[in-house]
Structure 1
Amino acid sequence: MHLIWLEDFIELARTRSFSRAAENRFVTHPAFGRRIKALEQWVGAELVVRTHPVSLTAAGQLFLDAATHSTDVLYAARAQLQDGSGPAEKTLRVATGRTLARTFFPDWYENINQRFGPFPVSVSTGGAQEVILRLGAGDADLLVIYSSPTTRLLIDPMRYESLTLAREILLPVVAADARGRPRFKLAPANAATPTPWLGFSQSLTLRGVLAKHLAGLPKKVSLRMVYEADSYESIHEMARRGVGVAWLPQRLVQEDVNERRLLVIGEPEMRVNFDISLYRVRGNDDALVNAIWDGVASDAIDRS
């Protein structure tokens, strides 16, 4: 039995979704499913009911308590042993969004690891409010997040300082039909039939960015919400299936655009520019955090 199986099971119990848990654990959906199956075989009982959402069996509820207690005890023991054997190596704690953890963070981490490392890193993901709270509570050293009116409202510039790490673009994309043409076009404001639209739920940072941009367009478009989700990946998948038009980060859809599974539609003004930002609490005195911050600041796009 492997410790990661227990961590997988705890995450599955928390999210109630194989796909979301696999994403959070940075493994493929099939690999994650095999690990849960291996844990069930080791336990000798079925732990989950594979419904939507996933639920726990009676054995699963019982085992969840044991798994949570066991991992807590093991990590506490490891921390004590590390403390007793001299200074432990600094682990950089980074909070970020789930999509950024997949599309942006790996390349950025590789770059800073080569420049300032090697050093271990612990990444935690979640919604905008969740990861901002982690930074404020001292549970993260750095925050990598999409910059938006929402994040600027939630993050007090008197307490936090920021750097702009990269530019990003929301692209309006649709699936290609059998002839390789866009399945939908953006309907003008006076159109009788609006364009089916895959929208962001309120918890997503980029909802406000997109809404502000669409409201400011000189030529409005007519959209009809047919699907809404709190996951860019979920919206991405529905766009690939041809359900409607979606505005999605370029880094997330670039491969599909290159392969023409998704087509960028509309005039250039339909595209939305925004930033990927790095935050930390002002006055942080951690040597590794300061070294990374000062190094990144030298080539950052903007700082505040």
Structure 2
Amino acid sequence: MDIKALRYFVELIKQKSFTKASERLFVTQPTISKMIKNLESSIGQPLIYREGRRFWLTEAGEIVYQRAITLLESLEQMHAELEDLEQLQRGHLRLGIPPMVGHLYAALIRRYKQQYPNVELTIVEYGGKRIKQALMEGEIDVALTMLESQRDNDFSKLALDNYPVHAIVPNTSKWRGIDVLTWEALEHEPFYIYTKEFTLSEFIDQRCQQAGFRPQVSARSSQWDFLVALVKSGNGVTFLPQPLCHRVKDDGVLVKPMAQSMQWSLGLIWHTQRYIPKAAEAWITLCRDATPTSAA
């Protein structure tokens, strides 16, 4: 069914005159007549009865007229909403962020909301491994996470920041005189580390294996402050990216750099094959503009 023909038909009935309808539509009267005949042909029933210059709706015409009004109004609303979406007057950004990362980008998130106040923002807190799965499944649009060194063709990435990861040990005489820790020195310590859905957990395990041992994992948690509390009880080790270390200094624990340091490389990732909503495109652009030296 031709939308244009429906529009001509509705305007004709509203104006109750071929002359007035042609003036409103900026077309000739024969054009309107042709459109009405085409519409009647597609429906298989007459829509109007004519008597000279007068006409009135058939029963089928009344049904088509009422439904056409609703349909055309819905189309107009759709176009208006799409235009709003294009201008980001509406939309939805689904952003994945690991628990440790969010506070670092609070100012950037606030700037995004100031620029696009009508965009609904949903923040989902997952570890890096779960974030990738959520992107693959379309649960989220884009994620701030720890970047892995190997290339992954499923994801595009934008590097943002890079920080060293430090060891957190008890404030005891055993550790006070040591400025820099080696991984070998931690071989017999209980490890309090992140759950396996965190990319950082995998990196820690790799570093230990490179040093010739498997870590003695005593506890796992997604909450870094809980891991620090376990260390504070008097033994063991956990690990924190540098931006979080200032939160635990002078709190019963010591922050120690590692000799073979790990880097907490943060950035954006998004699925290369999935549609990127306008709201997510705007977030990626904002992050890129905030780090002009970064490369996607």
TM-score bucket of the superposed structures, by smaller chain: 0.5 to 0.7
> 2:200 pairs with 192, 197, 206, which one?
206
CA RMSD of aligned residues (A): 3.8
Q: Could you say which residue in structure 1 is the equivalent of 2:69?
A: none
1:155-304 alignment to 2 at 5 Å? 156-157=152-153, 159-177=154-172, 181=176, 189=184, 194-216=188-210, 220=211, 225=216, 227-233=218-224, 234-257=226-249, 259-265=250-256, 268-282=258-272, 284-298=275-289, 299=291, 301-304=293-296
Q: Distance in 2 between matches of 1:132 and 1:248?
A: 22
The 1:273/1:279 distance shift into structure 2, 3 A limit, reads same
Q: Structure 1 residues 223 and 238, CA, compared in 2 at 3 Å: closer, same or farther?
A: farther
Separation in 1 of the partners of 2:240 and 2:219?
A: 13
The within-5 A match list for 1:110-189 is: 110-114=110-114, 116-118=115-117, 119-148=119-148, 152=150, 156-157=152-153, 159-177=154-172, 181=176, 189=184
Q: How does 1:18-97 map to 2 (within 5 A)?
A: 87=81, 89-97=90-98
Q: Alpha-carbon deviation of 1:274?
A: 2.6
Cα deviations across residues 16-48 of structure 1 (Å, max 9, x unaligned)? Answer: xxxxxxxxxxxxxxxxxxxxxxxxxxxxxxxxx
Deviations 1:163-203 (A, max 9, x none): 012112211111324999479x9588499x93343234433
Larger radius of gyration: 2
Counterparts of 1:174 and 1:270, CA distance in 2: 17
Measured after TM superposition, the shift of residue 94 of structure 1 is 0.4
Q: 1:190, 1:222 within 8 Å by CA — same for their partners in 2? A: no
Amino acid at match of 2:95: V
**Could you tell me how far apart the structure 2 residues matched to 1:241 and 1:300 are?**
43
Q: Quote the Cα distance in structure 2 between the aligned partners of 1:289 and 1:182.
A: 48
Q: CA deviation at 1:215?
A: 4.5
Structure 2 CA distance for partners of 1:238 and 1:291, relative to 1, 3 Å: same
Deviation for aligned residue 1:206: 0.8
Number of the residue aligned with 2:108: 108
SS of residue matched to 1:169: strand
Report the CA distance shift for 1:168/1:108 in structure 2 as closer, same or farther (over 3 A): farther
Q: Which amino acid aligns with 2:267?
A: S
